Amino acid sequence: MSAETADRFGQLLARFDVPGPRYTSYPTADRFVEAFGPAQYRQALAHRAVAGPVGGVLPLSIYVHVPFCESVCYYCACNKVVTRQHDRAREYLAALEREIELHVQALGTAQPVSQLHLGGGSPTFLSDAELERLMLALNRAFRLQPQAEVSIEVDPRTVDGARLQRLADMGFNRLSFGVQDFDPEVQKAVHRVQPFESVRALLLRAREIGFSSINADLIYGLPRQTEASFERTIGQVGGLRPERISLYAYAHLPARFKPQRRIHAAELPPAAARVAMLRSALTGFLGLGYAHVGMDHFALPDDPLAVAKRQGRLHRNFQGYSTHADCDLVGLGVSAIGRIGACYSQNSKTLSEYYDALNQHQFPVARGLALNRDDLLRRTVIMALMCQGRVDFESVELAHLVRVQDHFGAELARLRPLADEGLVEIERDAIQVTALGWYFVRAIAMVFDRYLQTDLKREHFSRVI
């Protein structure tokens, strides 16, 4: 990258440093309504159940939310319960088993599953015996396919080599380590101290055991981070060679997330430094041989995610980018989000409400959304941009019986300034995101978000950069 190109790239990064959705769904979760509840969710499951024989429907993706953490990380915006009382997990596992059984009653047994992910919170808060109990319940209810991705988020402070072996024995084949930053001062500022040497030892052991893929999560914009310190972290992570890297911008929203009130705003890096950190990460990981999969995700060239990107098979769901087909997602656990057909759902966000619904033999769905025709159309366009970087008008028109040029006239007009910047090309029969525009794909997708165009208060989203 020439000095002139790097300077322009930095200017664009600064220009698009605005709040915006990550588009793990469209419409986004903030549009869910309480009018969608257990009855509507049960109906969506019933529609799937009658769609055809088990072999005639796409496999499921399953997400299980484990909310517990032993200590709070000040940056965290996840739904979590901070406790050292590990006996609380027993009640939660019993509730999860009841929720799983409700799905079996609605869908039948042996529904195929191609993707299973445990997130949180810290799933490794659960003991090995408790994780085995959960996996047994899932395997009894569903049929994990032979090549299924079975992944778990790991807090490096809660595992050792022996635990990693137990996870492999349970069937997990992918790990995601929460790294965030390796600088000791930054770790102290966010209350998450985990030395580089300990994480390195865990990654080496995971490779010896044979995990097929390891992901490392990073965050830029944290307190006490500097351009130099984050560049060191980039080098350290790149040296470990995880197959995938997720790079997130810290969103400081202390009014919404109580733990963030412990972060001193004066210690946060200024906007110019955050932009410089992102630019350093982009150039650093690309220089280390990683492929830019999309938005803020990177993968080694031979990783299935990078291969799917090259072949135009990339998909996106509530867990982010995926190699799997655009399949239904069952969300289990407190606050978990799912998608069945043309419906989105989210479980109750508090344990008391979650337990109460299941004790009454009801799905713990607190809100959701049944997508209308316009939602489905715009979801097709936005996901094509987010995943393939291209929208072919003919395929959209055949699927949704509209003429793109007429239906999206206002959006195409708003897209022209981005075309002038070289981020997108508006062709006669397609929209093509450029190589430069791929770094700003969220901003491009936002043009087609009908809800966002009428919503001037975007601070409930993370920043695009």
Residues annotated within a binding site for [4Fe-4S] cluster: 69, 73, 76
Annotated binding-site positions for S-adenosyl-L-methionine: 63, 75-77, 120, 153, 180, 192, 217, 251, 337
In 3D, which of 66, 99, 64 has the Cα closest to residue 362?
99
Q: Where are the alpha helices (DSSP H) in 366-457?
A: 373-387, 393-400, 404-407, 409-420, 441-446, 450-453
CB atoms within 10 A of CB 259: 18
Annotated binding-site positions: 63, 69, 73, 75-77, 120, 153, 180, 192, 217, 251, 337
What's the distance, Cα to Cα, between the start and end of the chain in Å?
Answer: 19
Which amino acid makes up residue 328?
A: D
In 3D, which of 415, 348, 352 has the Cα closest to residue 381?
415
Cis peptide bond prior to 121, omega within 30° of 0 = yes
DSSP letters, 334-387, are: TT-EEEETTEEEEE-SSHHHHHHHHHTT---EEEEEE--HHHHHHHHHHHHHHH
| Separation of alpha carbons 389 and 432, rounded Å | 6
| Separation of alpha carbons 421 and 26, rounded Å | 26
Question: Which residues is 291 bridged to in the sheet?
Answer: 299
- What is the torsion angle, in degrees rounded to the nearest 10, for the CA atoms of residue 144, residue 147, residue 149 and residue 151? 80
